[in-house]
């Protein structure tokens, strides 16, 4: 079976997920070519796994200081180039297109009637999972952004829906350094982050950001993003401060790292992720860089680890066998292998309560 695998390259979460799924697909002797969109080729790193991947501009969100800029997102994306890319992409020689919320491959498959499969966290929002009120345009965009024939949603809990557990690589925690905190807030300005962390000199903060090289500011170290080094720091840290992306939070749940989360304001998915973490009592939520809440959070204990099953291998086998098993049955078989150290608290409904210390 020949597969074209489209991966959204904006941020690193989709790529992290692909680093788990792609080896599983190759292990089933499936022939896979990769397409990445969302950033220039020169901005990707540690990409040996993906071989000679194709690269297109695709579509991306525009943010400033932790807030989504809807108008700039619309005006800064080159829709004409997007159309040229998807019409130029040859998908006729493939048996299946897999899209991880990647629009060029998804729309190319739709236009040419090639079978398509979406595997992403975004696909979970087609079901009754925790989601904030409003944001009609964002919901509409999420539904139309990368259309596929069959959508496989991923989330931290099944929420009684036919969705799968998180799709991540195997991770092992290191010996925890109790004053070490990893910070990855890609939507925030570096100066704002440094000011936020400045008073807490008893802690060592490893801040990952889009910078040219490492800089040290006493108890705060700013590092360029590196897949290997980031995960080494993640393995032995005590907690993580981040925006509300799905994949990093998934890794923290598996490793038992406490979370302080600032969702991207105006972004439906991140706000809904924060709501889900709140309902599962797995994170403290902030709306702004509040030092009072940070000080309380730093004194909180860690979290119990969650042993999610091997989702990548199960999905790869399902794809190899022609996707004959019903999604509900596949999901049930995976969730039956997972024992949760928490229960859902439904009293929050669809409202975030920033500042709660979990």
Q: Extract the residue ranges of the chain whose pLDDT is less than 50.
A: 66, 69, 71
Where does residue 150 fall: left (phi above 0), alpha (psi -120 to 50 degrees), or beta otherwise? beta
pLDDT value at residue 334: 97
pLDDT value at residue 178: 94
Among the listed residues 270, 276, 285, the one whose alpha carbon sits nearest the alpha carbon of residue 355? 285
Fold of 180-305: Rossmann fold (3.40.50)
- The arrangement of secondary structure in 2-168+309-335, i.e. its CATH architecture, is 3-Layer(aba) Sandwich (3.40)
φ/ψ of residue 331, rounded to 5: -60, -45
**Which ranges in the chain are annotated with CATH 3.40.50.2000?**
2-168+309-335, 180-305
pLDDT value at residue 186: 87
Cα dihedral sign for 275, 277, 281, 285?
negative
Q: What is the pLDDT of residues 4-14, one digit of tens each?
A: 999 998 878 89
Q: What is the pLDDT of residues 310-357, one digit of tens each?
A: 999 999 999 999 999 999 999 999 999 998 777 777 676 677 877 777
φ/ψ of residue 90, rounded to 5: -90, 110
């Amino acid at each position: 079976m020949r597969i074209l695998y489209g991966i959204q390259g904006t941020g690193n979460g989709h790529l992290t997920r692909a680093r788990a799924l792609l080896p599983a697909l190759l292990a089933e002797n499936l022939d896979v070519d990769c397409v990445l969109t969302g950033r220039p080729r020169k901005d990707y790193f540690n990409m040996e796994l993906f071989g000679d991947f194709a690269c297109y501009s695709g579509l991306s969100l525009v943010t400033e200081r932790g807030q989504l800029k809807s108008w700039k997102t619309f005006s800064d994306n080159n829709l004409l180039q997007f159309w040229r890319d998807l019409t130029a992409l040859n998908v006729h020689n493939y048996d299946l297109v897999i899209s991880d919320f990647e629009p060029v491959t998804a729309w190319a498959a739709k236009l040419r009637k090639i079978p398509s499969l979406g595997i992403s966290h975004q696909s979970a929002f087609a079901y009754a999972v925790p989601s904030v009120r409003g944001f009609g345009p964002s919901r509409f965009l999420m539904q139309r952004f990368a259309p596929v024939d069959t959508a496989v949603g991923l989330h931290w809990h099944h929420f009684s829906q036919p969705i799968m557990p998180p799709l991540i690589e195997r991770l092992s925690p290191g010996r925890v350094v109790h004053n070490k905190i990893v910070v990855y807030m890609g939507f925030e300005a570096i100066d704002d982050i440094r000011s936020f962390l400045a008073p807490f000199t008893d802690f060592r903060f490893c801040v990952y950001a889009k910078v040219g090289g490492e800089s040290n500011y006493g108890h705060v170290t700013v590092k360029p993003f590196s897949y290997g080094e980031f995960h080494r720091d993640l393995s032995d840290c005590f907690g993580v401060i981040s925006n509300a992306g799905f994949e990093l939070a998934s890794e923290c749940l598996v490793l038992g790292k406490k979370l302080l989360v600032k969702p991207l304001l105006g972004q439906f998915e991140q706000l809904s992720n924060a709501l889900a973490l709140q309902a599962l009592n797995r994170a403290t939520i902030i709306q702004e860089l509040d030092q009072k809440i940070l000080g309380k959070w730093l004194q909180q204990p860690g979290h119990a680890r969650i042993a999610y099953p091997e989702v990548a291998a199960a999905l790869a086998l399902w794809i190899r066998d022609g996707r004959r098993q019903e999604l509900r049955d596949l999901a049930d078989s995976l969730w039956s292998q997972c024992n949760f150290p928490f229960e859902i608290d439904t009293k929050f409904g669809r409202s975030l309560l920033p500042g709660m210390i979990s």
